[in-house]
């Protein structure tokens, strides 16, 4: 569900069938969902080679850039692009939202069965229809619900893929999963790598190395990312006072809370609440 002061803009949700355009630098600040319905494509990502066939879904997080893209002559695909602004304003309360981030960095391609693909394409058609219904009195609300349904269906498909992957994973995969679980439990109270490393019986350096290998970011990045995401949800989705939110996240003074949000988001907490 959208945060309370969010107003959708024309460029927040886009569709295209042009994979090369979608993967160009123009949309680096977008989250991309690519669904191949015919043909195949290959690409490199972080010096790794990937190949996706018909029936595959590709998820690219913001900042993930493909290189050496090669498309078959008969390729057909549907591409959904969601802006970072829209993504941050619509947090989903599910562990798969967090664990999915780490999974997608290592596994950008989802191999889906026919039923999963049909489900996603049906969701995308619904989003397209809602986008066009600008005269609907609840246009934004119905569009948000359609996107939300799509996201939860993706989480459902992801959960199956992740279960299969986890069964093959070793200690590193288990450690990353446990780190995410601890973040969900303690991130509002503690924001030091040492705390989480101690809980996992590893050194802070080792924990950061595992995170970097698995996701492209170290442990400190994810602690900040999850903290800021939850703070944004409180600021834009509730009427709690800044002091209450600051206390909830264990900041000793409101000024420290304000400085933290400003440093990591570019805006003060109050600025997030100006627009109603």
Q: What is the pLDDT along the chain (276 residues), one digit of tens a residue?
A: 444 455 677 788 999 999 999 988 788 778 899 999 999 999 988 778 889 999 999 988 776 778 899 999 999 999 999 987 787 666 555 544 555 565 666 678 888 899 999 999 999 999 999 999 999 999 989 999 999 999 889 888 877 766 555 444 557 767 877 888 888 889 999 999 999 999 999 999 999 988 887 766 789 988 998 898 888 878 877 889 999 999 999 999 999 999 999 998 888 998 877 654
Q: What angle do CA 247, 251, 254 make, to 5 degrees?
A: 80
Residues of the chain with CATH 1.10.10.60: 171-273
Q: Using CA atoms, how far apart are residues 51 and 42, in angstroms rounded to an integer?
A: 4
- Fold annotation for 13-168: Jelly Rolls (2.60.120)
Residues of the chain with CATH 2.60.120: 13-168
- The answer to whether 108 and 67 are in contact (CB under 8 A) is no
Q: Using CA atoms, how far apart are residues 253 and 255, in angstroms rounded to an integer?
A: 5
- The answer to whether 226 and 215 are in contact (CB under 8 A) is no
DSSP 16: E
**Architecture field, domain 171-273:** Orthogonal Bundle (1.10)
Distance of CA 10 to the CA centre of its chain: 20
Cβ atoms within 10 Å of 261's Cβ, excluding its own = 26
Name the 3-class secondary structure at 107.
coil
End-to-end alpha carbon distance in the chain: 16
DSSP 244-264: HHHHHTT-SSHHHHHHHHHHH
C-alpha torsion 180→146→55→62, nearest 10: -50
Tell me the pTM.
0.64
Cβ-in-10-Å burial (0-12, 13-18, 19+) of 5 comes to middle
**In the block, which residue shows the tokens 């924990």?**
207
Q: Of 247, 250, 248, 241, which Cα lies nearest the Cα of 269?
A: 241
């Amino acid at each position: 569900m959208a945060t309370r002061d969010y107003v959708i803009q024309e460029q927040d949700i886009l569709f295209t069938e042009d994979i090369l355009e979608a993967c160009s630098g123009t949309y680096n600040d977008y989250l991309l969902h690519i669904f191949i319905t015919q043909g195949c494509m290959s690409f490199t990502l972080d010096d790794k080679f990937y190949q996706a066939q018909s029936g595959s879904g590709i998820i690219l997080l913001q900042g993930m850039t493909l290189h050496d893209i090669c498309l078959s002559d008969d390729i057909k695909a549907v591409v959904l692009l969601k802006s970072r602004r829209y993504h941050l304003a619509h947090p989903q309360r599910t562990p798969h939202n967090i664990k999915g981030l780490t999974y997608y960095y290592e596994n950008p391609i989802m191999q889906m069965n026919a039923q999963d693909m049909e489900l996603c394409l049906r969701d995308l058609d619904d989003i397209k229809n809602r986008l066009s219904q600008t005269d609907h009195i609840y246009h934004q609300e119905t569009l948000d619900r359609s996107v939300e349904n799509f996201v939860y269906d993706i989480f459902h498909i992801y959960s199956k893929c992740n279960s299969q992957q986890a069964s093959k994973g070793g200690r590193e995969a288990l450690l990353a999963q446990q780190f995410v679980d601890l973040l969900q439990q303690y991130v509002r109270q503690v924001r030091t790598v040492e705390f989480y490393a101690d809980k996992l019986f590893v050194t802070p350096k080792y924990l950061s190395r595992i995170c970097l290998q698995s996701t492209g970011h170290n442990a400190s990045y994810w602690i900040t990312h999850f903290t800021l995401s939850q703070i944004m949800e409180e600021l834009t989705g509730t009427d709690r006072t800044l002091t209450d939110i600051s206390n909830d996240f264990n900041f000793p003074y409101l000024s420290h809370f304000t400085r933290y949000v400003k440093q990591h988001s570019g805006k003060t907490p109050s600025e997030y609440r100006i627009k109603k």
